[in-house]
Copies of this chain bind each other. A is one copy, B any other.
Amino acid sequence: MTSQGNNLDRWYGSYAERTAGLAASEVRALFAVASRPEVVSLAGGMPFVSALPRELVSGAMERVMRDKGPVALQYGSGQGVPALREQILEVMALEGIRANVDDVVVTTGSQHALELVAKIFLDPGDVVLAEAPSYVTAMVVFKSFQAQVEHVLTDEHGLVPSALREHIARLRAQGRRIKFLYTVPTFGNPSGITMSWERRLEVLEIARANDILVLEDNPYGLLYFDGPPPHAMRSVEEEGVIYLGTFSKTLAPGFRVGWALAPHAIREKLILANEAAVLSPSSLTQMIISEYLSTADWKGQIDTFRGVYRERRDAMLQALTDYLPDLSWTVPNGGFYVWLTLPDNVDSKSMLPRAVKELVAYTPGTAFYANGDGRTHMRLAFCYPTPDFIREGIRRLSTVINGELELLNTFSQTAPLATVRAEQRIVSPPANLG
């Protein structure tokens, strides 16, 4: 038993070994401070739910309670409400996916689908392959089942196939068991990068050749700005992909309704794991969403969200161009995030307290790596603050970064302010901006 507590905890010797992996985020306390209203937070990935007309939700609730109250208030199926699962097929069809309603499992947000997949696949010591960088709370889940996350090199087109091939070969030569490849191929979190269609096909081919399951997590795919992204990986590969979707970004996260689409045998185990974990997902929230999808112009509402987030992305890119012209960043065609690359000698994690003091918050790049990398990066979320606040936040951030560089310059002559250039690895030029 490893140490997972202290002598103030009477039960510190009783925890499971996996519990050692459940550590509180180092930046958690800071984020509590960052939620004060005077701080411009570019840290959290909260959808802008105020862009959803409240009466659309209220009306759906009212009709569900009027017409189907006793069913909505009751336990339901461990697989989810059948009518909603049918509608989920329509949502996925927008990304080229054809599937059987029997293979959809509704979960308590797609986060719970991650947990269930991890629970049924991961033994201690197993390896999960993931993009570098990768979604922080997916890695928390994998680690909570004592798996090891191995990052695979990415560039501006997503996972690099040659790197993936080599990494698999190296791990296998070490005798390590790879359980699946976790990817957010569209508008990645935190990178904002989208895997190209050619890369998707190559990655699927490598996975197939190596008998590695692909876990395709796609919360942002419908929130594109400049044109639709490539179809989902699941659209061309059925038996080798578990696809995860959610209503958290296209409707609202407060419902906690997401789903997994899985090959038949895996689907059966996911249902059993879901029943063990929660008996059944909430009938009430599923039925409200089903009613909303039946009666509201939900595609129009997604268009509204696209417009909101496009404007915010543009505001962030413009502010970065204006205030931090020497740095580089990714230019996302959708989703919630820009990935900023700092000068080599600036550490985003140690800089965060100073940023919060200057009333701006971000997520340090280290959060998105399982191996301590990411110090010279940060994730900037443009989903929640208004364009004016985004601009002000970037202005404050530039003050903090420039202050940091001045400070470093005081103690060293190796990186003069005017010539600092960022690492160029996963960066596209800021397109479409003057």
User: Which A residues form the contact surface with B (CB < 8 A)?
Assistant: 5, 8-12, 14-19, 22-24, 46-47, 49-50, 52, 54, 57-58, 61-62, 65-66, 69-70, 72-76, 108-109, 111-112, 115, 119-123, 126, 137, 140-141, 144-145, 179, 213, 239-240, 248, 252-256, 263-266, 268-269, 272-273, 275-285
Other A-B contacts than A16-B121, A22-B276, A111-B277, 12 sampled, CB-CB below 8 A, are A10-B240, A17-B123, A19-B119, A23-B272, A49-B73, A50-B70, A58-B61, A75-B248, A108-B282, A115-B276, A255-B282, A282-B282
Once the chains are docked, how many angstroms separate the CA of A46 from the CA of B283? 13
Residues of B within 8 A of A277 (CB): 108, 111-112, 115, 141, 277
Q: Is the CB of B75 within 8 A of A269?
A: no
Q: Is the CB of B269 within 8 A of A15?
A: yes
Once the chains are docked, how many angstroms separate the CA of A283 from the CA of B252? 11
Q: Is the CB of A66 within 8 A of B58?
A: yes
State how many angstroms separate the Cβ of A26 from the closest Cβ of chain B.
13
Q: Is the CB of A16 within 8 A of B122?
A: yes
State how many angstroms separate the Cβ of A136 from the closest Cβ of chain B.
11
Q: Is the CB of B22 within 8 A of A269?
A: yes
Listed from nearest, the 3 A-B pairs whose CB atoms lie closest are: A9-B265, A73-B252, A73-B254
Q: Is the CB of B24 within 8 A of A49?
A: no
Q: Is the CB of A283 within 8 A of B265?
A: no
The one of B54, B140, B213, B278 that contacts A108, using a Cβ cutoff of 8 Å: B278
Once the chains are docked, how many angstroms separate the CA of A273 from the CA of B268? 24
Once the chains are docked, how many angstroms separate the CA of A75 from the CA of B256? 8
Once the chains are docked, how many angstroms separate the CA of A330 from the CA of B379? 60
Secondary structure call for the A interface: helix
State how many angstroms separate the Cβ of A4 from the closest Cβ of chain B.
8
Q: Is the CB of B61 within 8 A of A120?
A: no
Interface core residue of A47, A264, A276 (most chain B CB under 10 Å): A276
Q: Is the CB of B14 within 8 A of A121?
A: yes
Copies in the complex: 2
State how many angstroms separate the Cβ of A370 from the closest Cβ of chain B.
14
Residues of B within 8 A of A22 (CB): 120, 269, 272-273, 276
Q: In the complex, which residue of chain B has the Cβ closest to the Cβ of A180?
A: B14
State how many angstroms separate the Cβ of A127 from the closest Cβ of chain B.
12
Residues of B within 8 A of A75 (CB): 46, 248, 253-254
19 A-B pairs within 8 Å (CB atoms) are namely: A5-B265, A9-B263, A22-B120, A24-B268, A47-B74, A54-B66, A58-B61, A62-B62, A75-B248, A108-B108, A109-B278, A109-B279, A111-B277, A111-B278, A115-B276, A140-B276, A141-B277, A255-B282, A256-B280
The one of B12, B240, B264 that contacts A265, using a Cβ cutoff of 8 Å: B12
State how many angstroms separate the Cβ of A39 from the closest Cβ of chain B.
17
Once the chains are docked, how many angstroms separate the CA of A283 from the CA of B57? 14
